[in-house]
Amino acid sequence: MSIWEYANPAKFMRTTDRLLPWVVGGAVLLSVTGVVWGFLTPDDFRQGSTVKIVFLHVPAAMMAINIWVMMLVASLIWIIRRHHVSALAAKAAAPIGAVMTLIALATGALWGQPMWGTWWEWDPRLTSFLILFLFYLGYIALWAAIDDPDSAADLTGVLCLVGSVFALLSRYAVLFWNQGLHQGASLSVQSGERMSHVYRYPLYTAMVGFGLLFLALLLIRTRTEIRRRRLAALQAREMRA
């Protein structure tokens, strides 16, 4: 039994058919619990009720970066091993990543206005996130612009490699550029506890919930792409016959 067996579209469809109800159930349960629990947390002594935004902002920002990393891995698998399912999974992940980045930017602006006194600042983390969002849009547009799916997978794979610089920059910008407004990590293993458990547990729940939500949407969207590819292949075969 090898992981590469799942590169077979038929095997992928069979396996995900069984897996999907569990992933969807877990995603709904944990993301709704995390977000509702977060909304019901008490006000912070400094930030007031705006602390409730963290339960959307942090999971969305975490997923925005992690989804690009997942796309990078899937693109590398395509470039090196030419497995179609991995290229389709990268394509399927991009709109989810774009929405997560947009949520992180929008909630960040709405949070920043009362806390920093500004909606936007050309801060290293904010700017690298905006560039990451533009890379997501460019990636989606490039897939849509090229008819040949293999060429599209090749070119978007290269774009994904380049965009990875900004995905990493979004994560680590606050560590090596100190002039920004944005704080460091809200949760950090190295620096010990930085957040009260009143906020930490709902935040963990929301983060796992968003991760499962991404997985559920990714599996559904990849299945959609496989079906579209199969239909196109059948139609092309009939045209030739």
Partner 1 sequence: MIDLGKYAFAVVASYGVSLALLGGLIWQTVAANARARRALEDHEKGKKNG
CB 58 within 8 A of CB 207: yes
User: In terms of C-beta density within 10 A (0-12 exposed, 13-18 middle, 19 or more buried), how is residue 38 classed?
Assistant: buried
CB 98 within 8 A of CB 190: no
At closest approach, how far in Å is the CB of 216 from partner 1?
9
Give 110 or 152: the residue with its C-beta nearer to partner 1. 110
d(CA 240, CA 160): 34
Per DSSP, the chain holds a count of helices (H) and strands (E) of 6, 0
230 binds partner 1 (CB under 8 A): yes
Give 63 or 72: the residue with its C-beta nearer to partner 1. 63
Draw the binding track, 130-169, toward partner 1 (x: CB under 8 A; -: no contact): ----------------------------------------
At CA 63, angle to CA 95 and CA 192, rounded to 5? 170
User: Considering only CA atoms, which of 190, 207, 183 is closest in space to residue 47?
Assistant: 183
**Amino acid type, 99:** V
Compute how many residues bind partner 1; rule: CB under 8 A. 35
The residue with tokens 């009720």 is 49
Draw the binding track, 43-62, toward partner 1 (x: CB under 8 A; -: no contact): x----xxx-xx--xx--x--
Angle between helices 9-39 and 197-240 in degrees, nearest 10? 150
Draw the binding track, 199-228, toward partner 1 (x: CB under 8 A; -: no contact): --------------x---x--xx-xx--xx
Residue from 69, 76, 79, 106 in contact with partner 1 (CB under 8 A): 106
Residue from 69, 76, 79, 102 in contact with partner 1 (CB under 8 A): 102
Torsion, CA 66, CA 68, CA 69, CA 72, rounded to 10: 160
Give 56 or 167: the residue with its C-beta nearer to partner 1. 56
Displacement of CA 2 from its chain's centroid (Å): 26
Residue from 39, 81, 145, 184 in contact with partner 1 (CB under 8 A): 39
Residue from 79, 99, 181, 185 in contact with partner 1 (CB under 8 A): 99
234 binds partner 1 (CB under 8 A): yes
Q: For binding to partner 1 (CB under 8 A), which residues are involved? A: 35, 39-40, 43, 48-50, 52-53, 56-57, 60, 95-96, 99, 102-103, 106-107, 110-111, 113-114, 213, 217, 220-221, 223-224, 227-228, 230-231, 234-235
